[in-house]
Copies of this chain bind each other. A is one copy, B any other.
Amino acid sequence: MTYCVGLYLQEGLVFLSDTRTNAGVDNISVFSKMQTEEVPGERVLVMLSAGNLAITQAVWNLLQEGVCLGGEKLTLRTVPSMFRAAQLVGQAVREVYQQDGPTLSQQGIGFDCSLLLGGQIAGEPPRLFLVYAAGNFIEATTDTPFLQIGEHKYGKPILDRVVSFGTPLVDGVKLVLISMDSTLRSNLTVGLPIDLLVCRADTLEVTVRRRITEDDPYFRSIHDGWSNALREAYLELPRPEWGLG
């Protein structure tokens, strides 16, 4: 399993992914699920992946080699816009599906693949997309400024309640770490270390990239601080007057 989340904020984009892959509970490994293409000053693109690792690695490999889109062979370094980049990723997913899908299906294995693609190309604002296994995609908007893939449920309530398009980048980082911490706690197949990446809007480069391990002092302060904060917060809520003392 996997948990990846992307925030689409006025100040820029925030990405966070875990690194655990598993084939059963007795075979777990560490693989980064975050890939980047950066041409400083011109473009920065980030792809997060969930699903079957063989599929998502094949997608990334195809994207490196180049994928045909509208009769032209393009990569994430050459696509002219983020919309075309999302189409390119979708096309790569479809090529893998054509290649591997029939055999996977014969062996009763689903074509499990979902991707977050975000970034900015000079001349455009930052954009964030979720590409499905069918190669189609949706885009985050100011109404719904976050997208998640993988084991998204445990970490969703905090995002639902707090994240807005106007949330500052620095608070967005806190919120994705809280969201990940809730997920790590409840689902063993999502595991540390985690990869954080922030792109401030219009800088057209990676602002912060950080691999966060168990020993990271800031992550520990979020982990402990959030548990304490929740404990205090619920104690301060009013008590029901239903004869319970």
Contacts and interface: CB of A to CB of B under 8 A. Distances in A.
Contacts of A154: 153-154, 156-157
A109 interface: no
A218 B230 contact: no
Number of copies: 2
B160 A240 contact: no
A162 B234 contact: yes
A221 B244 contact: no
A186 B156 contact: yes
Interface of A: 153-158, 160-162, 168-171, 173-175, 178, 182, 185-186, 198, 200, 207-208, 210, 218, 221-222, 225-227, 229-245
A241 B218 contact: yes
26 contacts: A160-B186, A161-B185, A162-B227, A162-B230, A169-B244, A169-B245, A170-B245, A171-B235, A174-B240, A200-B244, A207-B243, A207-B244, A208-B243, A218-B240, A221-B237, A222-B237, A225-B238, A226-B233, A226-B237, A229-B233, A229-B234, A229-B236, A229-B237, A230-B233, A232-B233, A233-B233
Q: Tell me what chain A mostly uses at the interface: helix, strand, loop, or mixed.
A: helix
Nearest to A172: B244
Contacts of A226: 161, 233-234, 237
A239 B170 contact: yes
Nearest to A232: B233
A174 B243 contact: no
Contacts of A185: 157, 160-161
Instruction: Sort A-B residue pairs by CB-CB distance and give the 6 closest, nearest first.
Output: A153-B153, A229-B233, A157-B182, A170-B244, A208-B242, A225-B237
